[in-house]
Amino acid sequence: MARPKIERPDFGGPFPEHIAVIMDGNGRWARGQGLRRVLGHSEGVHSVREITTECARMGVKSLTLYAFSVENFKRPKAEVGFLMRLLSKFLVDERPTLMNNGVRLRAIGRLEELPKNALAALRETERLTERNDGMLLRLALAYGARAELADGLRRFARDLAAGRVREQDIDDETLRGYLYDPHTPDPDLLIRTAGELRVSNFLLWQISYSEIYVAKECWPQFRRPQLLAALEDYARRVRKFGGLVNDAPAPKPDTTRSGMRAR
């Protein structure tokens, strides 16, 4: 079912309530600068801070960032260790920014697989920000969409066997209830950086009708101007959710940068 469309004249049309981002290209950016791969992740933190702050300021209701996938655990041990230490530091250092912008933090994924220090920092930051009434920032950590569906299916099977769910009552909303975060609406806009044309096992259920925008810049280069370009591109989209839109205006051609539509 199509959600109500928010119009923003300053962007020329619809405005997304929920943005999801695949933050790609940290290592590629670092190599291009003659730096070690891990330093690209450190630089990427600055983009996280700026994009989070800008989205909160502009009135985005939810922002989901693909921070660490279940597959990322396959990377070299030293890199994974660096990323987990960087995550712990980020969760502590960004608390003032989150509080000053009224941002609530929530994480989704197989969080029990995170190191104890990172998980403790995460839970404390979630606790400190839970009463904030502004934007919801979701970090996808130890996350994979197939893992999310498998975990949900296991919980569903237990409920079905126990009689808490009846087979004849199963529909899309029933299954949604077994996702990691069933209450946050689906993303309106999915942004992927570094020019890659794939969704990388991210929110496969939730992005069924998301608009997709691909930025050529690597994540450390994705800042406010690139975010504005994505929002302006989204404002030109006509969202049909598989149906028809009567008297819908023809979308304006994108003359600034490439975008990719999802229908």
* Catalytic sites, residue numbers: 24, 72
Exposed / middle / buried, residue 242 (Cβ in 10 Å: 0-12, 13-18, 19+):
exposed
Give the chain's length.
263
Nearest CA among 225, 147, 234, 224 for reference residue 190: 234
User: Going edge to edge, which strands form the sheet with 104-108?
Assistant: 104-108, 136-143, 62-69, 18-22, 189-192, 211-214
